[in-house]
Structure 1
Amino acid sequence: MFAIPGTAPVTISPAAERQIARLMAGKDAYGLRIGLKKGGCAGMEYTMELAEAPEPNEEVVEQGAARVVISPMAQMFLFGTRIDYETGLLESGFRFHNPNVTDTCGCGESIRFEPLEGSRTPEA
């Protein structure tokens, strides 16, 4: 929907690709759906869930055995994002390196975008 021909809207690191493929295989899912919802200190939070199939107008990004499905309302906010999976001593999880984010909360769980002229903010 908001893609540039020949350019994937998001990129997936090799570590994220392996983790997404593991999640998909473990639940026999079509892919990992990512989106945005209102919430958190900064105003928006990423959402993730396993998807059985893509819905109309969702963007699908495939890389190796991994498949990411992007909800329509999140597409313009996620364009250019690099999805990574980091493992640390205290926690492991997906990280979104999103060039469109203008602010984050102190804990890094919520984000803010500058509103685009004439656009709506994404809703759950």
Structure 2
Amino acid sequence: MTIDRPPTAYEERVYTMCSAIPKGRVTTYGDMAKALSPPSCARAVGQAMRRNPFAPKVPCHRVVASDLKLGGFKGSWGTETANVKLKRQMLLEEGVEIEGDLIGRHCVVRAGELQRLVAGKK
């Protein structure tokens, strides 16, 4: 997806937070939304991820759906789409455990931990 504008202040906050997610871990759109200051909503985080012009430096592939399924990637949804297959492969290569369509719960960074990770990067 090509973006013909610079990221908004909101998108910059989302990308900063996303950059704090370590390899081998994921977070959810909802946990990112809760961890943002002020809190946001999962859909807004998803839209920012979809427009991410800094991938893979800003690792939007590390953000998954609240039910711990892979969710979307590059605007595509569905486990059989090429983009979501790529997301799955990227996560597996980083050491994220995926069983069937679900991310292993121990791989998930929740909102509180995400806030601490971002604070540690400042």
Higher Rg of the two aligned structures = 1
Structure holding more helix per residue: 2
| TM-score after normalising by structure 2 | 0.27
Structure holding more strand per residue: 1
| TM-score after normalising by structure 1 | 0.27
